[in-house]
Structure 1
Amino acid sequence: MKQFDAVARVPGDPILGLMETFRADPNPAKLDLGVGVYRDAFGLTPVLAAVKQAEQRLVDQESTKAYVGGHGDADFGKQVTRLVLGDDAALLQRAGMTQTPGGTGALRLAGDFIATCLPGRRIWLSDPTWPIHETLFAAAGLSVAHYPYVGADNRLDVPAMLATLNEVPIGDVVLLHACCHNPTGFDLAPEDWRQVLDIVRSRELLPLFDLAYQGFGDGLEQDAYAVRLFTEALPEVLVTSSCSKNFGLYRERTGGLLVIASNPDALAAVRSQLASLARNLWSTPPNHGAAVVATILADEHLRACWQEELEGMRQRIVTLRHGLVKALEPYGLSEGFAHIAEQRGMFSYTGLTAEQVRRLRAEDAVYLLETGRANVAGLDAERLDALARSIARVVR
């Protein structure tokens, strides 16, 4: 009996599938704006100098490869918690981080915690959101609902978002992108965040922040604004943090789930549940990436080096955004695509239709998702004019 014959084949992930198609394309001028990784002026995803130095230090000084425990590297947790929340001593006393395999692992751990310990809560996601949010929380057994975020005119629709959040049942969970919204690039302004906070507080919702791009939007401190606003005002908040983008540690799968509870006793109870859940997911997390991050953040020289490199990446993305809008001027399209310069982070909801995206791929080997989402960090400054010319052709 061959038992695998009955196993159905499922469609591949659209982003990973796009990567495979791109790699197989023989066109030497092909351009990958699909996969969400940062690329430098040479088209490479570099290993940061601060990371290289920290790794060498670990090679020279690391004395064991023993397990790091259910909550992971304690130094990593301490350092990243301060990176996210700042140095507010009172807040830190009721905050604790559980290290996870990347931000995705943190999201799955949060989903399992909600399903296990807060049964019956629905989780509300922005429309649109990162596609894995949808499948990940469903796999954790949660009921998924949506609040509006971007309207049909490809603009942030704050009134619609607030109106829907005002109708969310008491006690439900709402996932919020702390900065650099994926996939749209549209972020809430401080006054918008304060309105969301008022609703979350009045309806006793549990906010779950996805903080995957700290430092890629307006800067390290600025990008933590919403998280700090909510954690200072509310007794309970969940935050998933990723080091993939801001430390360039994509393949090291380095992240954490940060819990802010009303008091240390409540925090201890939640953390006991997280350790139990993690035991059945990955037992203990991988340590190399976490040790690198902890080493960098604890060392004044390495931290300064890292922050300089991170700011350089952020500024490059900002320059590319403005450069593309400028390149569209000769075609009379700069106003129609002005939102690209207004968005934040790696991604842009360009406003291109699925048919226009397919034409870009077929005619010019320009690869982006059929939703129109483009990875701005994959652009090449020297090819902005060519890209603008291609866009002009498909939109007319």
Structure 2
Amino acid sequence: MNPPAFRLPGMTLEKTTTILLTGGAGYIGSHTFAALIDAGYQPVILDNFSNSHPAVLDRLQQLTGQRVVRERGDVLHAGFVAEVLRHYACEAVIHFAGVKAVGESVQQPLKYYSNNVGGLVSLLQAMETSACRSVVFSSSATVYGDPASVPIHEQFPCAPESPYAQTKLMCEDILASLGAADPAWRVGVLRYFNPVGAHPSGLIGENPRGTPNNLMPYVTQVAVGKRARLQVFGDDYLTPDGTGVRDYLHVMDLAEGHVAAVQALLTRHQSFTVNLGTGKGVSVLEVLSAFERASGRRVPFEFAPRRAGDVAQYYADVSLAEAVLGWRATRTLDDMCRDSWRWQQTNPEGYEAGPDIPPRPGLRSRPNEPAQPAAVA
């Protein structure tokens, strides 16, 4: 059974509100689509499918029982985005589209600045011409860099240590400047920590291409024998078991955080910046132990040297999100592991390649003209 839909306390929907999801076919975007449907919204997906799978659209229709409204295009094409916003009379945008691998950003910084920063500017231009001025921005806890202490509060100084993190902070600065120049803009910035897990149905989940950048999909691939063992980077941190501690957040809790952010913008008309996490730190070895309990499988691992830039502990102070949004994470580490395992078992090869997605009649799908098209979160 699916959990009850998230709604902001005291919130009543008087009509169907349409929300545009850029990068809505990606990992976080697809789960947010499902959460928005549960909350009574009409989400519209805009995606160029450069880093996502069209097959997710069929899964979402199966999951929600509703037709998935989608347009194929790139946020870098402001004119096309404006046309989509006007056609569907979108009242707000949740901006997921972008590229997101920290290591790759060090090797290809221009790809990250052009897509993440350029993509946001293009989107905001489209929104301005379409009289849509409410946006939820998918930011990242990486903007904090290496904090002096934990838990990490929103008032901590930002010191990004990679081009990826720098693009997120630059986007936050752009949004702050826009809000200062025009009070009509309402901006919700969500700095989230480590999303993991999958929808409990097993129909949608994290589908990395190539070697996973995140811990949980790597763990699941080792558990099913696709990879021989997991490398655990560092066993000599000043943590209880010597391995790195992170704030792992179930993707459905994160999706409901986006719903809460949209509701807050549309009903309270105030901008905000909040952390989304559980507020609890969990070590790598604790994740492995929980996953082995959930799956009944052993996960072989070996210790490897620390990676440059990794820190010992990284977890959120989430009190502001609860105060501003009325939101808090409710799912446990066991839930995260169980749902990740169900997704892996149900979809051993991830999403199978689906049919090409044609443009909707009346709207022109734009080709991916930029050399590095925007991907999805």
TM normalised by structure 2 equals: 0.36
- Specify which structure has the higher proportion of helix: 1
Query: Rg larger in 1 or in 2?
Result: 1
TM-score (norm: length of structure 1): 0.34
